[in-house]
Structure 1
């Protein structure tokens, strides 16, 4: 069985040495004397070799595969073959088989690519394909590759890989696809460029001349021309229909043939059912029994058929000598004689290898037989046949096929047992596991804690968090009732993962900590993932230093364990970390690198989030077209992969883009879409994030609307604020920060700046201490607006100067512009102050305001020009040293003590000593106060 049973390596990918070789053999179309030569079509295939692609596309039964196999002996090129099936909807498996097909031309082809595909974490696909194309050009002769039954593939990543091959195909290679439907490939472009040959149903239909040759010469049926014409008309040249008609006409006299043709009518489906019954009924009883009872098998060999039929090795079958009087072969398996008979009788049996060991039925014929079987013997006895097939495959180490038969036969206990055995090995690369789990009744999954855990891993990616919670609760109850408490690590890991995906900081952190307590030697492989989740929990609670420390620990653990997936999660976190620190340019660079690293890997959620962050970053830089493009890419990916629930932040960025473009109606529509996704996801944070964005949009709409409409947005925002019932002077929690900032905006808009200022001071202290300088910029902007609302212009400009000093190096724009007219007035006032901040940056910000906003400012009374004497505090008694000024400048850029020390090559302890001296000389108690006063004194002139 080693050469025919598909096994997997420890990554879950097909092992190169154990591929199904039958998938790579060119099918035998039948006996040569039964095949109608079709030279007109063979010539078209021959002519197509000068182009990149030949597409043979037509419905079932039109002879697509038969035509290509007829052409192969005439081909001047070598031909390699790959028979596709549903199981090939896995990119690493598809590429492994494709390489194996090319190894039929050169045995050592693609060794490096195979090794990469069998690694625990597959490589990026485009570089791998590029290497394969180069190797094809350098090492293979001119050849054609046939991908048979391409319609069975539906994985977008495979279509993308084939499209890449087509776009870069070397002249020595030609691709032939047979398919029941047009594949999602760039066919239009190939067609326009003359790079594709097409053969469709209209081409494949038998002409009247071909039908005449088929009946009179190939099948030796003495039909008159009128009857052949009638059959050709009624079948519309459908080759399967004509073949079935010929089988049914065998043995009839002239009157019987005429009667048959007169009664012959109906659609293809009806015709097939009618003729199949006629064909079946004309077979000996033993053959009918064999056909019906083996129709449950997706592929068959004699020993497997014996097992399903209950025949012992060496046993005989009733009347087999009469049935097979012409047989020339011997086998200890009774079923081998029937298989030989079926092949000789052309009863829709298709050999899958050159040794005639493995076969399958024509798909349409098998469908009919299975329907007939269930009708004749009932589902219970059919299930018994599936059970026998399952046992045989299990005994021959073909676990995947065994599971499929267990599920088909509703052998739930057997399916659960086998799935538990292979779940870990298949998780990393195969969707078989999900298909199996979804085929099991829920009550069966709920009896297995392992399957509950595995199933929730998939359900989370679909955003089905309510089901996730219930299944994990069930798994925990089952585990605690047993002695296998180490399994609880999996329960808590998935709860932490669900918390991360739902943006629930506490759930992520607490469940990751719980998971750490249940490690043992059997589940140590999840240790890197748990530490990554713990770091994520710290980050989501605003503790950046702790998050970075634990992420560094995670990298070491993941590298030691070879956990590429965990390393990918750590890489994904770095862009978020730098964005929170206010390092926008570095964040964008990291996210771009992350997207290149992901490539075609199955990391949809990470990719959606990275695209979302890039949309947000480009929005901040006022690059609205690019921001919109990234947002659309994220939404397209979410839709294609059914990960829409994770696109909430994308919609929120899109709402801000529409708001900036003045399309307020669209902005509110998008907010509603985000709200629906937040409700579907559940949890607190998604709703908080959407509400905060909606408040911001209400207030922006209120500020830019005519007087009669302005009150509506402010009223809605006020109603929301009153419903929050938060104690603005109570203990601060990071999870409340979005709500607090939204409340500050409402208070400022309502001309109640005092409580907003008190809250902002506390929020600023917390953010500065943790190094969340990106948040500090927004808070300082709000502080400036709060002082402005209090008519404290000097204090407003001082806060604004500090915000600008942090924002300018990273190119912040929308954080200022989105605040509308009040911020425009502040910036204009500041621009009239000499040596306040970089003038070019101020001009960039002012130019970003809408034109009508600028006109409105000109029409209004110009704001009072502030003179340095009215703004500056008293001069210093003791001047700052050169080193202290240098450190003060780095403070203004938001650097930590450690980062400052690294920048100027001194220890962080020495930085602390200088900082204390700076505070004393300036008469302040914090970094922010020091920077604000230094700016006011002109010690930190804009650059």
Structure 2
């Protein structure tokens, strides 16, 4: 994290820098473009211009933030944590200007995408914001570039972004330029004009003549790096005499010539300092003391930084420094040419110093520079546990791939952690190679990672065996052991859900979350939350499950990569939102997180997300999209060798055929499904089959084919098991199917008793469990409503916002299902005072279905205020004063 914090401050401006007024008026004026790309090779003054723009915004009390990107930001988890730190800094540093209304960062695999989360935080500042992002050219990963693409495409009013890069970034720039939302400052724009060069040399009292300045401008073409180098070299008495000599050089060739002049100004020990510290990725006083054998390196670095001698500070306290890349490149080339042995020694000393001071990534960089693979492997092994726990999977994979196999194969601890990363990222072939290497170390602690890999492959019994072996071995108290203990507990909780031991599952998941907090592992915390929410849903506590997921802690929400935990979290959230009929929220979340779920989710989490979305599309009348998603999920099941997922999706096809009234086709498809190879023991129920799968669909097929005795036999068996295991969600479905079967046999009294019992269990928000049965359920609910059943339960208070304004659950479900207007025994209402307009008729139709103003507006593409305006007129025409009165009049037969 220290490295990230160092990059959140702009470098200190060099002394004597001339204001680039003509450029500043373009990029930070009130009418400047929201996005400015400052693109040029090294040495053109990009960072200097950005520093001046930053200072200008600060003077005008504009909320400003700075980030210098690093190669490590290609790991999306590390990038989002750095951006989180940047936004926190904005919040705190600007609190004295206007107190922001900040919330914890929303999960990217949760209520919003990564870009949505960041944009939300920027909007909550409630003031103009300008962000400066330097060294953008280091980003190459599609995830990182995609994040900035989405950010730039949706910058809210008042938020601007200035980007410095050596290359044009791939962030949808063409579209932004066409929309006049961006402009590019080119290398030619950054060149000094004659007047700027005259002002620049005048600042330093160089006493150059106009002719001399013209010569320099002509030969440097105004290139800032060459101009600055020439200014520095003027301290050498011979430099001015050499003005004529520079005619022999092209502008880009001047750097080496002029740098030689700059170096020659300084004493030998300073020249030696320049050369021998040039290989360092970053410099501090203690590090340079260790390299150079001196005690004043910090003071020297600060002096060089102050003089503008191509040293810049990385923090406001002047503890860390860095050479300008152009200057560093020249120095490194010279050191490599003149003293290769010393270059090697510097890298070795730096690697040791960084390791001893806890900067392991820097240590690896220097060790790899001299091919000290043993040292680099040792550092990665030390660091790898934290990388896995924090979800920095791309980082661990990247550095592992830099190491020759002969060094890593001898370190089983490292191999175990690499297996974690490769398993989470579904890198099947490399994972198989690592597991084969681990076979040579039977005493290594690898049962936890092997159990996780088994569950990802849907080898349930293999996962169970490894989890039991891991629990029997016990775990240590170091952070990674706590992480593995948490993973074991979560897996045991996962399996306990299958076996119906729900209280035991809860206990395991509490242990998992506790261990995750002890290990400071958002991975483990997030995984335990996802599985705990499923457990609550199984037990009939849907509203609690939604609350648990919506209140996930901020640290867990920063696990924003394609991980198993993120996929499980997103899938469980989609599932509970769908079950509670929050369809728009579920669809938005699925669209944002589908790639994460498809790439990393365990079979049951993948299934509940995909099936929920297939049904959502069907419910909203988009059968083509539902069929396309069903086929896409089936292909993924076959490609991933996940037969249980393929079978579950086959049963979903059976259900859809039944709802379409094609019973013969449904029965034929059901007969072709082979459940003989089902890896789940008898009496177990994977949570993806809680209200679906083979057992439920066999009941459906038998019921619609009129095989009553078979239906009753199957129901008795399944009801007994569901009651015994406390599976309330499954019990709701079974009772509803029993009620439908009884109603079809004219056992109306029994049907209504079963329905009433199902409704009582569903009070915490189980809406879709009824609506997903289609016409048979609607027919039963309509008959029950006409009979004016007594003791019909109401939704729990927390459910009301999603269940409509009806008086009881039956009315609510019928309205949500879009059933025809219900005729009660109330007197016919008086006629309308005047006819409804076409728009009012549209609104009345949606109002009768229980939609709220926002939902009506979204459906009709009008604002919520416009809906309110129309409702006022509608109420007047209906002769009512409230929403509930309007719904009642519509329900008792008023034409809509």
Residue 511 of structure 1 pairs with residue 466 of structure 2? yes
Residue 419 of structure 1 pairs with residue 380 of structure 2? yes
Deviation, structure 1 residue 793: 0.5
CA distance in structure 2 between the aligned counterparts of 1:540 and 1:155, rounded to whole angstroms:
38
CA distance in structure 2 between the aligned counterparts of 1:381 and 1:575, rounded to whole angstroms:
59
Q: Do the aligned partners of residues 595 and 187 (structure 1) sit closer, same or farther apart at CA in structure 2, a change above 3 Å counting? A: farther
CA distance in structure 1 between the aligned counterparts of 2:146 and 2:217, rounded to whole angstroms:
46
SS in 2 for 1:447: coil
CA distance in structure 2 between the aligned counterparts of 1:131 and 1:624, rounded to whole angstroms:
25
Q: Is the CA contact 2:219–2:246 (under 8 Å) kept in the aligned structure 1? A: no
Deviations along 1:59-104, one digit per CA (max 9) or x if unpaired, are: 3444233246568999868999967342574566677689899999
SS in 2 for 1:179: strand
Q: Do the aligned partners of residues 130 and 828 (structure 1) sit closer, same or farther apart at CA in structure 2, a change above 3 Å counting? A: closer
Q: Do the aligned partners of residues 837 and 820 (structure 1) sit closer, same or farther apart at CA in structure 2, a change above 3 Å counting? A: farther
CA distance in structure 2 between the aligned counterparts of 1:430 and 1:26, rounded to whole angstroms:
30
Structure 2 residue aligned with 1:299, among 277, 282, 285?
Answer: 282
Unaligned runs of 5+ in 2: 106-113, 793-806, 824-896
CA distance in structure 2 between the aligned counterparts of 1:663 and 1:132, rounded to whole angstroms:
35
CA distance in structure 1 between the aligned counterparts of 2:733 and 2:476, rounded to whole angstroms:
47
Deviation, structure 1 residue 759: 3.3
CA distance in structure 2 between the aligned counterparts of 1:342 and 1:834, rounded to whole angstroms:
85
Structure 1 residue aligned with 2:715, among 760, 780, 786?
Answer: 760
Tell me what 1:590 maps to. Answer: 548
Tell me what 2:841 maps to. Answer: none
Q: Is the CA contact 1:572–1:594 (under 8 Å) kept in the aligned structure 2? A: no
Structure 2 residue aligned with 1:206, among 191, 195, 214?
Answer: 191
Deviations along 1:605-664, one digit per CA (max 9) or x if unpaired, are: 55554444444344345453343234334437759x987996553232111111223322
CA distance in structure 2 between the aligned counterparts of 1:131 and 1:472, rounded to whole angstroms:
43
Q: Is the CA contact 1:648–1:677 (under 8 Å) kept in the aligned structure 2? A: no
Q: Do the aligned partners of residues 299 and 799 (structure 1) sit closer, same or farther apart at CA in structure 2, a change above 3 Å counting? A: same
Tell me what 1:65 maps to. Answer: 47
Q: Do the aligned partners of residues 471 and 784 (structure 1) sit closer, same or farther apart at CA in structure 2, a change above 3 Å counting? A: farther
- Report 1 or 2 for greater relative contact order, CA contacts < 8 Å, sequence distance ≥ 6: 2
Structure 2 residue aligned with 1:461, among 389, 410, 424?
Answer: 424
Deviations along 1:329-382, one digit per CA (max 9) or x if unpaired, are: xx899x9999999998x875546689999653322554577689889999x998
Structure 2 residue aligned with 1:798, among 750, 753, 770?
Answer: 750
Tell me what 1:493 maps to. Answer: 448
SS in 1 for 2:746: helix
CA distance in structure 2 between the aligned counterparts of 1:731 and 1:784, rounded to whole angstroms:
26
Q: Do the aligned partners of residues 343 and 222 (structure 1) sit closer, same or farther apart at CA in structure 2, a change above 3 Å counting? A: farther
SS in 2 for 1:391: helix
SS in 2 for 1:794: coil
Q: Do the aligned partners of residues 752 and 365 (structure 1) sit closer, same or farther apart at CA in structure 2, a change above 3 Å counting? A: farther
Deviation, structure 1 residue 740: 3.0
CA distance in structure 2 between the aligned counterparts of 1:23 and 1:624, rounded to whole angstroms:
40
Q: How many residues align?
A: 757
Q: Is the CA contact 1:581–1:772 (under 8 Å) kept in the aligned structure 2? A: yes
CA distance in structure 2 between the aligned counterparts of 1:693 and 1:591, rounded to whole angstroms:
27
Q: Is the CA contact 2:391–2:523 (under 8 Å) kept in the aligned structure 1? A: no
Deviations along 1:230-255, one digit per CA (max 9) or x if unpaired, are: 768xx6x6534766799999678787
Q: TM-score, normalised by structure 2?
A: 0.65
Q: Is the CA contact 1:830–1:836 (under 8 Å) kept in the aligned structure 2? A: no
Deviations along 1:298-346, one digit per CA (max 9) or x if unpaired, are: 22469867987xxx758xxxxxxxxxxxxxxxx899x9999999998x8
Residue 807 of structure 1 pairs with residue 759 of structure 2? yes
Deviations along 1:749-768, one digit per CA (max 9) or x if unpaired, are: 55555545433332221111
Q: Which stretch of structure 1 is more off in the superposition, 242-251 or 811-820?
A: 242-251
Q: Is the CA contact 2:567–2:597 (under 8 Å) kept in the aligned structure 1? A: yes
Write the mapping of 1:640-659 to structure 2, written as runs, cut at 5 A: 648-659=607-618
SS in 1 for 2:540: coil
Tell me what 2:12 maps to. Answer: 27
Q: Do the aligned partners of residues 781 and 397 (structure 1) sit closer, same or farther apart at CA in structure 2, a change above 3 Å counting? A: closer
CA distance in structure 2 between the aligned counterparts of 1:499 and 1:296, rounded to whole angstroms:
45
Tell me what 1:771 maps to. Answer: 726
Q: Is the CA contact 1:784–1:800 (under 8 Å) kept in the aligned structure 2? A: yes
Q: TM-score, normalised by structure 1?
A: 0.62
Deviations along 1:808-835, one digit per CA (max 9) or x if unpaired, are: 5435444344334444455555555564
Structure 1 residue aligned with 2:685, among 714, 719, 734?
Answer: 734
Q: Is the CA contact 2:509–2:528 (under 8 Å) kept in the aligned structure 1? A: yes
Q: Which stretch of structure 1 is more off in the superposition, 525-534 or 296-305?
A: 296-305
Q: Is the CA contact 2:11–2:313 (under 8 Å) kept in the aligned structure 1? A: no
SS in 2 for 1:517: helix
Structure 1 residue aligned with 2:362, among 383, 392, 401?
Answer: 401
CA distance in structure 2 between the aligned counterparts of 1:215 and 1:510, rounded to whole angstroms:
74
Q: Is the CA contact 1:302–1:357 (under 8 Å) kept in the aligned structure 2? A: yes
Write the mapping of 1:6-45 to structure 2, written as runs, cut at 5 A: 13-14=1-2, 26-27=11-12, 29=14, 32=16, 35-40=17-22
CA distance in structure 1 between the aligned counterparts of 2:94 and 2:782, rounded to whole angstroms:
73
Tell me what 1:574 maps to. Answer: 532
Tell me what 1:663 maps to. Answer: 622
Q: Do the aligned partners of residues 386 and 129 (structure 1) sit closer, same or farther apart at CA in structure 2, a change above 3 Å counting? A: same
Q: Do the aligned partners of residues 442 and 793 (structure 1) sit closer, same or farther apart at CA in structure 2, a change above 3 Å counting? A: farther
SS in 2 for 1:478: coil
Residue 536 of structure 1 pairs with residue 491 of structure 2? no
Q: Greater CA radius of gyration, 1 or 2?
A: 1
Deviation, structure 1 residue 28: 5.2
Write the mapping of 1:602-613 to structure 2, written as runs, cut at 5 A: 606=565, 608-613=567-572
